Each structure stands twice: as C-alpha cells, then as structure tokens.
C-alpha cells in the first residue's frame, strides 16, 4: 500500500511543481502531495532522498530529473496533460511530431510543446508552438493541420548556453513545456540548484529603460498607432519583469496579466485599468497609461530589478 502511495505522491509533487511559479519545492508542496494518503511529509522526503529524487540547496528541494523516478513520472505527467487537450489537437500534435522525427532521425534530441497549447489555454487563433533541439536544422515543410505551426530550433549546445544565461524562454520551456519526444537529453538541462535571476533582472532593467525612452520619443510623433505599439511592448515587459523580480517565471501571454496582479497589489498601489491595453482608445488614454507604467517602474520596479 505504501509503495503505491509513494508513487502517487511523487506524481502529485510533479503536478505541484508545474502549477507553481518556482523551480524549487516548498514544504507546502510536499505536504499537499501526501494529503489523504497513509504518508507524512517526513516519510515522503525520506523516500525522495533515498531514491536520489531530490536535491537540496539552502533548505529548498529541487526535483532531480536525472533520477529515473522523476524523469519517468514527469513523462507520465506530460502524457496525462496531453490527454486533457482536445482530441483533434492531440491528433495534429502527433502528426507533426511523427513528421519531425522522420525528417531529423538520429539528429533529434528533444521536442517540447510550448505556449498556450501546452497549458491547455489555446484559443481558436492559437498556433502549435514547438521547441526542437537537434544537431541538424529542420528544413521547412508544410504541416497539414488545422492551425499554424511555429517552430523554434536550437542545437543542444545553444539550448544549454541559453539556460546558462537564464534565458527567459529557455526557462519557461523547461518549466511549462510538455515533452513530446526526448533522446536522453532534457533531464540534463533542468536546474540542479537555485536558479539565479540576477543577470536576467539586470537585462530586464536595461531593456525597460530603453523601452521607456523609445515610448517617450514616440509621443512626439502624435501617431496613435506607433505610440500604441511601443506602449504595448513596454507594458508587456513591465508585467514580465515584475513577475521575475518576485522570483517567478512568467507564464504564457494570455495568463501574464492575471499572474502580475496575483501579488503586485500588496507591493504597490496601482490602477489595474491603466495596464489593460483594451482600454487604450485615444491619445489621452495612452498618455495616462504611460504615466501609470512609468510611475510603477520608477517608484517600485527599478528598485526590485
């Protein structure tokens, strides 16, 4: 009985890991994974350490994806998540994966579904977004599926280099992507220690200062279309940067605003209306939103980055 309970608890723990915005596991995560089972948190942690399934750094637990227990459970979890997608989406994803495998053969190291499809948040206009890691570049081909297909390609060395620099997309793909194919590669990429966001935060601060300056220049043109485009880009990066400043990993574009407001209200008094670009209908609206975003950056965000 306890044996099966341990494996059920590990599955729940992986689920908690993907639902959180962090790479490490908290005591609450461990406690929730053994709820309603004939186990305690201490039992589970002892089991995980005995299986080399977790690593510890400054009292934080990290899943060890090199461990067969974790890697196999993660793949099981990904299959479970894929089964929750609409049947026509699953069929299309399988068709695309089969075609990629046929084209790249032994050069292929990993295929991961990313974006809104991976999080089951796709709208009617959403693409199929894939991360492909391969020693050879995939040649362009047309996929006979009902949605557009967007493929981002890395070599194994490029992807590891991106992770070493805490690249936001690479971290996001590991955190929220669903593995569709792997040739003994992806487990090597998961963080083995607390991910440092210092360099990422530094780059975000530099980017925001450039975007604020460019948006300011755009107002000199009085062209609403140009101002709106610059301001939307600035707004998106402010939301993402605020989440990173709290040690989180930004989710997909459709979730980003809700994720931002989950914690920001206790940090800073802001008007949520100003951050919603659907409310920007005139030059006056754009000016008001720009002042709100600048105020948020100057009075809070720049000190956290």
Tell whether 182 and 221 lie within a shared domain.
no
One domain for residues 160 and 221: no
In a domain, residue 78? The reply is no
Domain boundary (125, 154, 189) is at: 189
DSSP annotation of 25: B
| Same domain (yes/no): 183, 239 | no
27's enclosing H/E stretch is helix 27-33
* Mean pLDDT value across residues 251-272: 63
Question: Which structural domain, as residue segments, surrounds residue 49?
Answer: 2-63
**Structure-model confidence comparison of residues 213 and 21, the more confident one:** 213
The answer to whether residues 132 and 181 belong to one domain is yes
Tokens (6 digits) for 242: 């605020």
On the question of pLDDT at 274 being above 70, the answer is no
Number of domains in the chain: 3
For range 193-220, the mean pLDDT:
82
Give the rounded percent of residues in the chain with a pLDDT score beyond 90.
Answer: 30
Confidence (pLDDT) at 267? 44
User: Per-residue confidence at 36, pLDDT binned at 50, 70, 90?
Assistant: confident
**Is 122 within a domain?**
yes
Average pLDDT over residues 29-33: 92
Residue 303's pLDDT band, with cuts at 50, 70 and 90, is: confident
Q: Are residues 185 and 208 in the same domain?
A: no
CB environment 201-235: b (16+ within 10 A), e (fewer): bebbbebbeebbeebeebbeeeeeeebbebbeebb
Contact present, 8 and 37 (Cβ < 8 Å): yes
Task: Give yes or no for residue 174 having a pLDDT over 70.
Answer: yes
pLDDT at 266: 42
Are residues 17 and 95 located together in one domain of the fold?
no
Residue 80 lies in a domain: no
Is 68 within a domain? Answer: no
Would residue 238 count as lying in a domain?
Answer: yes
Instruction: Please indicate, yes or no, whether residues 47 and 126 belong to a single structural domain of this protein.
Output: no
Which residue would you say has higher pLDDT here, 3 or 217?
217
**Same domain as 168, residue 202:** no
- Residue 129 sits in the same domain as residue 165: yes
* Distance of alpha carbon 39 from alpha carbon 8, whole angstroms: 11
246 and 218 within one domain = yes
Please list, in sequence order, all residues whose beta carbon lies within 8 angstroms of the beta carbon of residue 127, skipping any fewer than 6 positions away. Answer: 115, 117, 147, 148, 149, 150
Average pLDDT over the chain, rounded to an integer: 84
Ranges 170-174, 191-195, 221-225, 256-260: which has the least confidence: 191-195
Residue 18 has pLDDT above 50, yes or no: yes
Which long-range CB contacts under 8 A does 136-143 form with residues at least 24 apart? 136/104, 136/107, 138/100, 138/103, 138/104, 139/103, 141/99, 141/103, 143/92, 143/95, 143/96, 143/99
Residue 176 lies in a domain: yes
Specify the higher pLDDT residue, 146 or 11. Answer: 11
Residue at which a domain ends, from 63, 98, 114:
63
Total-model pTM: 0.75
Instruction: Give the model's pLDDT for residue 302.
Output: 80
Q: What does DSSP say about strands 54-57 and 60-63: parallel, antiparallel, or unpaired?
A: antiparallel
Residue ending a domain, choose from 171, 189, 207: 189
Mean pLDDT of 97-103: 92
């Amino acid at each position: 009985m306890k044996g099966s309970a341990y494996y059920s608890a590990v599955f729940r723990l992986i689920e908690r890991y993907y639902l959180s915005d962090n790479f490490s596991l908290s005591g609450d995560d461990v406690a929730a994974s053994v709820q309603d089972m004939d186990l305690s948190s201490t039992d589970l942690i002892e089991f995980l350490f005995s299986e080399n399934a977790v690593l510890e750094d400054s009292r934080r637990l990290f899943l060890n994806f090199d461990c067969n227990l974790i890697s196999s459970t993660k793949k099981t979890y990904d299959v479970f998540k894929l089964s929750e997608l609409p049947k026509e989406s699953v069929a299309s994803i399988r068709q695309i994966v089969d075609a990629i495998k046929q084209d790249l053969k032994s050069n292929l190291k990993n295929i991961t579904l990313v974006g809104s499809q991976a999080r089951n948040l796709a709208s009617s206009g959403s693409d199929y977004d894939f991360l492909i890691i391969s020693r050879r570049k995939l040649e362009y081909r047309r996929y006979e599926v009902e949605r557009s297909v967007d493929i981002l390609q890395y070599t194994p060395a490029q992807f590891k280099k991106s992770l070493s620099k805490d690249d936001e997309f690479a971290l996001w793909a590991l955190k929220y992507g669903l593995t569709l194919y792997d040739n003994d590669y992806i487990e090597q990429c998961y963080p083995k220690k607390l991910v440092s966001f210092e360099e990422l935060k530094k780059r975000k601060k530099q980017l925001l200062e450039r975007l604020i300056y460019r948006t300011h220049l755009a107002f000199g043109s009085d062209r609403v279309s140009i101002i709106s485009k610059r301001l939307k880009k600035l707004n998106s990066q402010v939301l993402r940067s605020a989440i990173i400043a709290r040690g989180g990993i930004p989710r997909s574009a459709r979730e980003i605003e809700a994720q931002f407001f989950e914690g920001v209200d206790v940090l800073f008094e802001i008007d949520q209306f100003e951050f919603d670009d659907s409310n920007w209908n005139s030059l006056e609206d754009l000016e008001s939103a720009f002042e709100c975003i600048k105020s948020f950056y100057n009075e809070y965000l720049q000190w956290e980055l």
